[in-house]
Chains A and B, each alone.
Chain A
């Protein structure tokens, strides 16, 4: 018995060895081995056994040597296993509930708070279609696997398939409809048609072609999520499910299950769809693992469970590869449906945590390692010896490791890895990099930050690889294109950058031939992104280069999709290039013009929008280019309705402003009829466009005011100045904009007269809207034409709106200020009334009302001065002064702001209360921690110190100085700056000596920020009171043998020279000995600070005949170039740069030549850096200073032109 087992084991071992040898041979033969084969190969141990004793392994000749883990599909009786199963609908629902069902409760919390970093989860339905695209079709290893012809054929095939699928679906639906007519529908949740066009209101998608009816996403979290999704559904599918509209659920291009053509041997990366599928399933697979029955069992656990004797731990079979793709794991160990065996209490104690590695060999500790990362980076964890691998494989692993560092590492690690990958890009090769990065970018669990980093990797790699990227153009496009329609502006910009770099690297022909197949793709999503990508290519390589191609595409007879894509490309070009299209305008318009009369509505729509974009980009030039399209446009607006009409109107709206005066007039009259008719349209988009077009038409000088007054105004106000309009933000703005434009045409009084009564409307939002319109009209047109009754009504309404205002909005406040400002002297009769309202409201219990009142004071103070109401103002300011004890900081800030504006208009001398009383009250307020209070207070104090310092005693000023020291630490830059400036004013007022003494004492304190701010203040004092008043004391302070003080002095000097600029020429000689001393100090910071002093000094005195001391200092500075601390080397190199500016590059060149070819690399590196900086800074000047090098036998190195003498 025992012997028998031993014999079996032995046989097994031998067979494994044979297999390993075979695998090794295969690897050497093919050069590139699939990773799975490699990992299996080294898992073996090479122990020799006595074959003669144990016999041979013949008796297993007929058997399988290993268990096939790939698993034939028919081995897993998934469906038939349970007698009781869930209802069909629920199973189907599970299949559809892909996105919303996640299993991480933390994510749920994050989602509730509106945080979602995973890109795939916040995508709209439309954006999700990117997952349907395939990354690495059959281009093995990225070599030029797909020829243009095959790509075309493939797309054609896919298109046909999509058509066919759509047809079949339609037929099925019809059949179902007929069958359903008798009985009510049950699957309400699956059959709801969703038009992506109408679903998200904020996203302007209506200009897309209407997408087909697609199954609604039903993200519901039910108990049924716990069970694994029934993946069996994918098995029975046609082998290649091309992109259909039904691909909301993960596309399982059957390859994941081995049913379709096996992967080409050399292809290391799994195809995108496979990853997508497996990752989607990963979510479902997790519960399987988490189930106690399937849980991972540790060695200790097994030891405890099994008896110690009679068992032997065997090696895993040779061909065993650990399952890493969760999808297959799911297939391998089907968990029972919950509920199939009744309820059971989950055992908690036995469930060990599923351990994700925190540390990856060769990388070190990572901040995190996610479940999803296993798929991509699992390879790094299999503990193989790298030396055994082929060169390619090793390189791939290196790249993977770097990518993992970039993706998951902390900042320093990430930066180092990023630099490494970009420096060694050529060494790694395009295939090794892109085959790893691109699938990662397609991962469904990708987050913003990760995407940003990986895209950066692509960019850097592309920069280094140059035209080597060519085989990867399509793959990169597939990955990057979706970023072009991302909601995030920066993501879009990033995408643009990449594609434009790509097109520069790969060249136009490559780009065109890669994108050509996608142009008439059946999927609207693909076409849309392709159009955008093409437009980026056009902007990168120049529009004329792409124009012939676009012309051909736009005239395509074969398919309307191609025409639409071409026209969309033109639109995107216009949006991207802006006025840069002007030279090519005629060409572009001719290229798309015929589309207005196309038989397909989508093409007509795209054309009109493209024309609108072109006209917008070209404004105000280029009307002659649009000659050919004007007629069809104007004919079109009579023919079309709905969306088509809206697009045509939009185009017209943008073309009219380009026209000559008389043409604009007549065309406006023609279009106005339609516009007025559409005023009543219930469609939001139509309304927005109509408003836009009215605005553009009215702005054109050719349209007479009388016509607008008679024809447009009545209808306009009747339809648009209604309460409902204020509810939607976009319309709110559009209506206000258009009204302002109308007022510019017909006069402010006319328009204000029509809306002024609405100021007393009961809806606050609507009042806001009216107020905004009035304030913008008054601001731009003034209030001169508002007279008599209207004036009274206006003030009345504004006051009413002010008193009734709710919330924080600034609109009413601004409006009030603008109206009163506009009325100027004419506001005098109302000021009494306004002031009493103000005073009453200052006294209000509600802090918000008090704040608004104080804010209003700040706004109307200038008008009160104009009206000569000084006395009234005095009353207000005394009132404000009395409220300085206010406890709400926001209100206190506003009160200080009010006081400041009164002080500004009234002047220091006439101020009530007198300045001498005011300032002592302000000094304690300076200690307030609230930013708004600090800012307003320091402003007020600064102004008093500037203008009216003599009203306050020197002692009082010294007291404020001490309070100001605290403000030097404020977080807000403007506060610090104001504080520093105030120091200057005070120093000027009471002489620098006392202030300086305070400040120099402050240098001794421990806190760093305080010292830094003090140094700034010293520099400011020096600037305002001339440096010679400060420098002696400052330099004397350097003699204090204390690091902090000396460094503080150096820092002050640095700021001082920065501020005084060319005034510094008189002081260079004075400070040189001090700097000499600092530059030879042992303390690193001394030298660093001295370097920064030299930097500012040399820049300040450049060209002022101070070369001698600067050169002297440079000699002291130069030995510091080998500093290693980042701050000091930075300071030193910057100082050398300034010296270059001051002394000229020739001098620095002489210094740099000493080390450019030094035998020690470390030396060379620094010197080359200095050389490069110099080269970037003043390359032309260097021409004269390059050294003279004698010719060698093969090369001429002399620049003989320099020897020419005429």
Chain B
């Protein structure tokens, strides 16, 4: 039977979170999620946002907005399937 018989409820739980992965996740997908998580963390955390803004010499609001923009495609376009993994 199923290897994770007792865990199949977790499958649904995982499915609700885009950041989780599975055996077929490509490197690019995984890293994109990592970047999004990281950016979300920076945007949400006041001190991190302030720190990054100071280093970049920008206003905090602009830094935040930039990071939000970047979350759309943080690592650039997905490579073609063959070279993905």
How would residues 30 to 59 of chain A score, 1 for a CB under 8 Å from any chain B CB and 0 otherwise? 000000000000000000000000000000
B20 CB–A CB distance under 8 Å: yes
Inter-chain contact A1172/B28, CB cutoff 8 Å: no
Q: Is the CB of A1206 within 8 A of B37?
A: no
Q: Does A1196 contact B (CB under 8 A)?
A: yes
Distance of A1091 from chain B, by nearest CB (Å): 14
Give min CB distance, B36 to chain A, whole Å. Answer: 11
Q: Give the shortest distance, in Å, between B75 (CB) and chain A (any CB).
A: 5
Taking CB atoms, residues of chain B closer than 8 Å to A419 are 2, 8, 11
Given contacts A463-B15, A1186-B34, A1206-B55, contact A1171 B21 (CB under 8 A): yes
| CB-based contact A1195/B79 at 8 Å | yes
The closest CB in chain A to the CB of B35 belongs to A1199
A residues less than 8 Å from B5 (CB atoms): 1126
User: Which A1164-1183 residues sit within 8 Å CB-CB of chain B?
Assistant: 1164-1165, 1168-1169, 1171-1173, 1175-1176, 1179-1180, 1182-1183
Residues of chain A with a CB closer than 8 A to B4's CB: 1126, 1129, 1169
Chain A: interface residue count, which band?
35 or more
Separation in Å of the B9 CB from the closest CB of chain A?
A: 11
Q: From A1169, A1179, A1189, give the contact of B31 (CB < 8 A).
A: A1189
Interface residues of B in 18-49 (CB under 8 A from A): 19-23, 25, 27-28, 30-31, 34-35, 37-38, 41-42
Question: A1196, B1: Cβ atoms under 8 Å?
Answer: no
Nearest CB of B to A463, in Å? 7
Q: How far is the CA of A167 from the CA of B51 in the complex (A)?
A: 78
- The interface residues of chain A lying within 8 Å CB-to-CB of B6 are 1126-1127, 1129-1130
Whether A1204 pairs with B34 at a CB distance below 8 angstroms is: no
Q: How far is the CA of A1172 from the CA of B21 in the complex (A)?
A: 7
Contact of A1204 among B21, B23, B52 (CB under 8 A): B52
Q: Given the known inter-chain contacts A1126-B5, A1176-B13, please indicate yes or no for A1206 contacting B27, CB distance below 8 A.
A: no
Is A1161 interfacial (CB 8 A cutoff)? yes
Dominant secondary structure at the A interface: helix
Q: Is the CB of B75 within 8 A of A1196?
A: yes
- Report whether A1157 and B27 are in contact in the complex, using a CB–CB cutoff of 8 Å: yes
Name A1195's contact: one of B23, B34, B75 (CB within 8 Å): B75
**Chain A residues near B31 (CB, 8 Å)?**
1189, 1195, 1197
**Is residue B7 within 8 Å, beta carbon to beta carbon, of the partner chain?**
yes
Knowing A1129-B3, A1129-B4, A1172-B14 touch, does A1194 contact B35 (C-beta < 8 A)?
no
- B7 partner residues in chain A, CB cutoff 8 A: 1129-1130, 1133, 1169
- Chain A residues positioned under 8 Å from B38 (CB to CB): 1183, 1186, 1199, 1201
For A1176, what are the chain B residues with a Cβ–Cβ distance below 8 Å? 13-14, 17, 20
- B10 adjacent to A1168 (CB under 8 Å): no
A416 within 8 A of B: yes
Judge if A415 is at the interface, Cβ distance under 8 Å. yes
Contact in complex: A1183, B41 (CB < 8 Å): yes
Q: Please measure, in the bound complex, the distance between the C-alpha atom of A1165 and the C-alpha atom of B11, giving whole angstroms.
A: 12
Residues of chain B lying within 8 A (CB to CB) of residue A706:
none
Closest to A1203 in B: B55
Partner of B19, one of A415, A1127, A1157, A1175: A1175
Contacting B76 at CB < 8 Å: which of A1127, A1173, A1194? A1194
For B78, the closest partner residue in chain A by CB is: A1195
Cβ of B54 within 8 Å of any chain A Cβ, yes or no, is yes
Report if A412 contacts B (CB, 8 A).
yes
Select from chain A the residue with minimum beta-carbon distance to B31.
Answer: A1197
- Complexed CA–CA distance, A1124 and B6 (Å): 11
CA distance A1130 to B6 in the complex (A): 7
Taken together as a complex, chains A and B put the C-alpha atoms of A419 and B7 apart, in Å, by: 12
Alpha-carbon distance A1168/B34, docked complex (angstroms): 14
- A1172 and B51 within 8 A (CB): no
User: Any chain A CB within 8 A of the CB of B85?
Assistant: yes
Assess the B27–A1194 pair: CB atoms within 8 A.
Answer: no
Inter-chain contact B76/A1175, CB cutoff 8 Å: no
Smallest distance from the beta carbon of A413 to chain B beta carbons, Å?
Answer: 10
CB contacts (< 8 Å) of B34 on chain A: these are: 1186, 1199
C-alpha gap A1126/B1 in the complex (Å): 9
Per the bound structure, the CA–CA distance linking A644 and B37 in Å amounts to 58
CB–CB A1157/B55 < 8 A: no
Residue numbers in B under 8 Å from A1186 (CB-CB): 34, 38
Chain B residues with CB under 8 Å of A1195's CB are 28, 31, 75-77, 79
Q: Which residues of B contact A1126 (CB under 8 A)?
A: 1, 3-6
Q: Would A1179 and B23 count as touching, CB distance under 8 A?
A: no
- Contact among A1161, A1175, A1180, A1183 for B17, CB-based, below 8 A: A1175
Q: What is the CA–CA distance of A847 and B51 in the complex, to the nearest angstrom? A: 80
Nearest neighbor of A460 in chain B, beta-carbon distance: B12
If A1157-B27, A1168-B22 touch, whether A1124 touches B3 (CB-CB below 8 Å) is yes
- Which residues on A sit within 8 Å (CB–CB) of B19? 1175, 1179
Asked if A1179 and B37 sit within 8 Å, CB to CB, the answer is yes
B21, B23, B27, B52 interface centre (most CB from chain A within 10 Å): B23
Residue of A nearest to B79 (CB): A1194
Contact with B along A396-412 (1 / 0, CB 8 A): 00000000000000001
Given contacts A1168-B23, A1183-B41, A1195-B28, 9 further A-B contacts (CB under 8 A): A416-B1, A1156-B30, A1165-B22, A1168-B22, A1169-B10, A1172-B14, A1172-B21, A1183-B37, A1189-B27
13 A-B pairs within 8 Å (CB atoms) are namely: A419-B8, A1133-B7, A1168-B20, A1169-B10, A1171-B20, A1175-B20, A1179-B19, A1186-B38, A1195-B28, A1196-B74, A1196-B75, A1196-B76, A1205-B55
Query: What 4 A-B pairs are tightest by C-beta distance, nearest first?
Result: A1164-B23, A1172-B20, A1204-B55, A1126-B5
